[in-house]
Chains A and B, each alone.
Chain A
Amino acid sequence: MDLDFSEEQEMLRSMSRDFLVKECPKTLVRELQDSEQGYSPELWRKMAEVEWMGMVFPEEYGGTGGEFMDLIVLLEEMGRNVVPGPFFSTVVMGGLPILAAGTDDQKKKFLPAIAKGECILSLALTETSATYDAAGIDATASADGDNYSINGKKLFVYDAHVADYILVVTRTSKEADPEAGITIFLVDAKSQGITCTVMPTVARDKQCEVIFENVKVPKSNILGQLDQGWSVITRIKEQANIAKCAEMVGGARATLDMTVAFAKDRVAYGKPIGSYQAIQHYCASMLMDIETAQDITYEVAWMVEEGLPCIKEVAITKAWVSDAYRRVTERGVQIHGAIGTTRDHDVSLYYQQAKAAEVFFGDANYHRELIAQQLAPITR
């Protein structure tokens, strides 16, 4: 047993923290959130230069051969800072499935380009039914010679508006089991028939409505096996949920740090408010939420990295961490007082992030039902 990060991982942590403080100040964060594009090509290029994009890809595909846990460290720091842009979409939701299920040609085409910062990806999974279950997939892909033709409406698609390729999850055959008959396509985002509209959201992250109308995609662009795409999604769900938990842990830490600093500084009735027990106990509860969130995230991230069966554990983690992140950011705003409710104050950024992270890949109640299914399966 060794529950510590490696020296290299600790170094990665401090380097990424320093990098982001310098390269992604909160003024830039707000500017990007309010911009149409939602990311900075210059920052994107710099992130590629410090080898973040290719961190988890093998060297033969232009990466640096890191582990999932390295990504966890990095994402915790990105969550701490808040970094608008398509990193999560490209690396976690696009790169990892291509690495896991892609053909050698697909890997050679996409992974080195991602690593160099020259390819942005997006995963189009959810639809208007707003569920992460396979039953929610109504978009179709029908064979048409050497091509498939995709039709359907995808919703909550992160970063599709700037993506070079979109991983589109479609139904290619109707089966009794909703998880059967699902196929994933790598679709050129500039293809004819794609309409993309950014949805206004709390976290001002760029989630899109993407409409596919007779979009032609070659057979060779199937990711994984025809009709068996759901197994790829199952793995992405595990990885993306835990990766999101790492972001939340980082964001929660940042919230507590700034809140404690504020409480030591802000004077009321002649004393810093942090000397009053009401405030101290809020802060202590926040720390307890963060410590527990972190402990379970690292433990289950290790399980994901090792490829151990962890459906229940991932659901446990996502549910606990997103509940905890919401509590922490809400208390953070409360302790700051009125200033915490403003657009100008950093604590509100995290409060908004918490909402986006909570509902991403299933909210806490969705995961509680997944857990219940593991404890006592019932047909519903």
Chain B
Amino acid sequence: MNFRLTPEQEALRKEFDDFFREEMKNAPPGYSGGIETMFGGDEETWQFHRYMAQKLGAKGWLSLPWPKEYGGQEHDLVSQFIFNLVMGYHRAPGIGAGIMMLAPTLLAAGNEEQKKQFLPPIARGEVDWCQGWSEPNAGSDLASLTTRAVRDGDEYILNGQKIWTSGAHHSDWMFLLARTNPELKRSRGISFLLLDMKTPGITVRPILNMDGAHSFNEVFFDDVRVPVKNRVGEEDQGWAVTRMTMNFERSGVGGFAGNLRNLEDLVGFCKETVWYGRPLIEDPLVRRHLAQMAIETKVGEAMARRLNWRMQKGEMVIAEASASKAWGSESHQRIIYAACEIIGLYGQVKKSKWAPLYGRFAKAYELGCSLNLGGGSSEIQRNLVAWVGLELPRV
């Protein structure tokens, strides 16, 4: 066993680190990063995301492990892992669903024409994608979805509704699931489609998060025409494609690294803050909280590293990815709660002169719940761990 990075990997890590250290100086004032970029971005945050996406695209770092012919760098997944860690640590934006989910799916299941058409613009950071999966009556039970795609010559006619579509209002394209064969039950009869968001018949309506941020949307399809050539995989066979995408979605690692940064900030805060006549850092309960954050941050990184290694070797990691996703989001929430607790009365104050650490944790308190739900709730992940990992009987 050997965990040491090669000199090339070390150099790469330093290159990533130098880049982010410099570029993050361009973040808007009070930018708090982390999950805000995913779930709660304001206009300034969004513009910064766009800026970073193009910077990263120009570096070729959005597409590290892809083949060169589609705009990639042909690095291995270990380099990708290093990149994710460094980027997570700096709480940098710039990566969306197109990079995280669609690109690996296309590489695995797309045809040549699709790869050539869709991958290079994603690699350049020019195009934003959203994920059209959940529906009002199909969330955890995704396979019960009812959005219909009816074949009409070389097009599908799409009708139905998606919900919880993060960033749909900013996105150029959507990858979605629609039922192409209502005769077939559940996961059979679903197709995976790529939809240009400028197509007539699409309505996007915001759903505001509890903190008032606009990230989620409802998306309505009213006779929306999708070319058949934009179907990934065979007709009615979209679920198999979906399973791959889910694994990519669930095996993200950036969060752990972000927690390391959060911990550093909190330690600084506790050193500087004197309450009841003594520095917060001397409070045994505070120290215990901080230590537990350090524990979970390091353990999460180890878990992610092991998962990355398995994926690098080409292993199927369904249960492992689910375990990692549930553990990671729950751990993140524990850390947020502990941070808010440490900050005490001020732990409720949002971005303002009274908010310690830019009100990052007060905001995360509101947004953190989404992490245990998006990408499959923790309960669904545990079902998969039990069914696939432990071979317990399916419900």
A interface residues with partner B (beta carbon < 8 Å):
1-6, 69, 256, 260, 263-264, 271-272, 274-275, 277, 279-281, 283-285, 287-288, 291-292, 295-296, 298-299, 301-303, 306, 312-313, 316, 319-320, 365, 367-372, 374-376, 378
Contact = CB atoms under 8 A, between A and B. Distances in A.
A41 to B, nearest CB: 34
A299 B3 CA distance: 7
Given A4-B1, A378-B281, A372 B386 contact: no
Contact of B287 (A2, A264, A368): A368
Contacts of A372: 287-288, 290-291
A260 B390 contact: yes
B382 interface: yes
Contact of A284 (B300, B323, B395): B323
B12 interface: no
Which 4 residue pairs spanning A and B have beta carbons closest together?
Answer: A368-B291, A280-B386, A284-B382, A372-B287
Interface residues of B, number: 50
B316 interface: no
Nearest to A6: B1
B317 to A, nearest CB: 11
Contact of B288 (A291, A302, A368): A368
B305 interface: yes
B281 A284 contact: no
Interface in B345-386: 379, 381-383, 385-386
Contacts of B292: 319, 368
Contacts of A287: 319, 323, 385, 389-390
B117 interface: no
Given A6-B1, A299-B3, A372-B288, 4 more contacts: A1-B9, A274-B392, A275-B392, A295-B303
B382 A291 contact: no
Contacts of A367: 291
A275 B395 contact: yes
B281 A1 contact: no
Contacts of B290: 371-372, 375-376
Interface of B: 1-6, 9, 78, 263, 267, 270-271, 281-282, 284, 287-288, 290-292, 294-296, 298-300, 302-303, 305-306, 309, 319-320, 323, 326-327, 379, 381-383, 385-387, 389-395
Given A275-B392, A277-B383, A368-B295, A302 B3 contact: yes
Contacts of A4: 1, 309
Given A280-B382, A292-B302, A368-B288, A3 B309 contact: yes
Given A283-B386, A292-B327, A312-B294, A376 B3 contact: no
Nearest to A365: B288
A28 B323 CA distance: 36
Contact of B3 (A3, A275, A277): A3
29 contacts: A1-B5, A1-B9, A2-B1, A3-B305, A3-B306, A4-B309, A260-B392, A277-B383, A277-B395, A283-B385, A283-B390, A284-B383, A284-B386, A284-B390, A287-B319, A287-B389, A288-B327, A291-B303, A291-B306, A295-B306, A320-B295, A368-B291, A368-B292, A368-B295, A371-B290, A371-B291, A375-B294, A376-B271, A378-B281
B295 A369 contact: no
A364 to B, nearest CB: 9
A22 B195 CA distance: 61
A77 to B, nearest CB: 16
